[in-house]
Amino acid sequence: MRKHTRRAAPPNTTFYSMQQPKAHFAAHLPDESATAALGAALARALVPGLVIYLHGDLGAGKTALTRALLHAAGHAGTVKSPTYTLSEPYRVNIGGQSVNVIHYDLYRMSSPEEFLDAGFREDFDGSNVCIVEWPEKGEPVLPPPDVRVLLSVSGLGRDVELQALSELGLLCLERLSYVQPS
């Protein structure tokens, strides 16, 4: 597992509160198995074309959640954070349909031009599912999210909030079936 040695970016409150969510869902994830269960629930709720932003400090669980989602969606191999390549595509099955899920980690992106030059913007084409860690680094060229996930350390576990910011995001949250462990 990658060590979490890099410094967290300062929180950007403007970016977080730009848009009122159409719906939201909050839960406490007491341990990593709860994160895995939420990832699996999200995999079942995915809709082609969905853009998910993952917010949270280093070690908050963004990659853990994405890994669980991809495994539940049928990806059998490893899932590492694409720290240096910035993006990693996976081919998975969503509701009987073969869909690309592209996982980004923009932490090391040095400029918006890098995002554009890499052709990442074309990935957001309405059919790929795009999951973005450190979306703050993609401003202002990163396409807007349908779902925003906010993860934070809480005691030994994590708190999570999911916000639907579009009709597609609303559809995803309506389909989400996650039962919090008792």
Ligand X SMILES: Nc1ncnc2c1ncn2[C@@H]1O[C@H](COP(=O)(O)OP(=O)(O)OP(=O)(O)O)[C@@H](O)[C@H]1O
- Enumerate binding residues for ligand X (CB under 6 A): 4, 29, 31-32, 34-35, 56, 58-64, 81, 105, 133, 156-158
Q: Any bridge partners for residue 87, and if so which? A: 104
Cβ–Cβ < 8 Å for 145, 164:
no
Q: Which stretch binds Mg ion (CB under 5 A): 43-51, 130-138, 148-156, 164-172?
A: 130-138
Letters for 33-62 (x = contact with Mg ion by CB under 5 A, - = none) are: -----------------------------x
81 binds Mg ion, rule: CB under 5 A: yes
Give the CB-nearest residue to Mg ion.
Answer: 63
Residue 105 or 136 having the CB closest to ligand X: 105
- Out of ligand X, Mg ion, none, which partner does residue 102 contact, by CB within 5 to 8 A per kind? none
Bridge partners, residue 89, by sequence: 102
Place of tokens 């990693």: 88
Q: Cα–Cα distance between 142 and 124 in angstroms, integer?
A: 9
Q: Which is nearer to Mg ion, 35 or 63 (CB)?
A: 63
DSSP state of 10: P
For the chain, counts of helices (H) and of strands (E): 6, 7
CB of 148 to Mg ion, least distance (A): 16
**CA nearest to 85, candidates 136, 133, 143:** 133
Pairing of strands 51-55, 87-94: unpaired
* Binding residues vs Mg ion (CB under 5 A): 62-63, 81, 133
